[in-house]
Amino acid sequence: MTASYRILVALLAFAAVYFQATFWVGDRGIANVFALEKEQQNFIEKNRLLKERNLALNAEVESLKSGLDAIEEMARKELGMVKEGETFFFLIGDEE
């Protein structure tokens, strides 16, 4: 083998190792692709949950717009309000 042939083989071997390393761990390597796919799945799931929450909030808004029953129910639950003439009983004890 001549010296130039050895240099060529060494250069090709180095290039092969370099490209393999870049493929597996580089900025655009396969490891980064897997990380980005996982991040994408997380965003998709988060987006799905936010869409569900948005639908529930829209339904609540429509319910509040449509009638007094929903407003009355919300006032009772969240503000502890009672109607005129009603008696409110607060029971203390074990819940069963």
CB burial string 78-93: b at 16+ within 10 A, e below: eeeeeeeeeeeeeeee
Q: Give the range of the structural domain holding residue 61, as residue numbers without chain letter.
A: 3-79
Contact 9, 16 (CB under 8 A): no
Report if residue 84 sits inside a domain.
no
Report if residue 59 sits inside a domain.
yes
Report if residue 96 sits inside a domain.
no
Report if residue 48 sits inside a domain.
yes
Report if residue 93 sits inside a domain.
no
Q: What is the pTM of this model?
A: 0.50
Distance CA 96, CA 93 (A): 9
Task: Going residue by residue through the chain, which has 96 residues, state the pLDDT in tens, using 9 for 90 and above.
Answer: 788 888 999 999 999 988 888 877 777 788 888 889 999 999 999 999 999 999 999 988 887 778 777 778 788 888 878 888 888 777 887 766
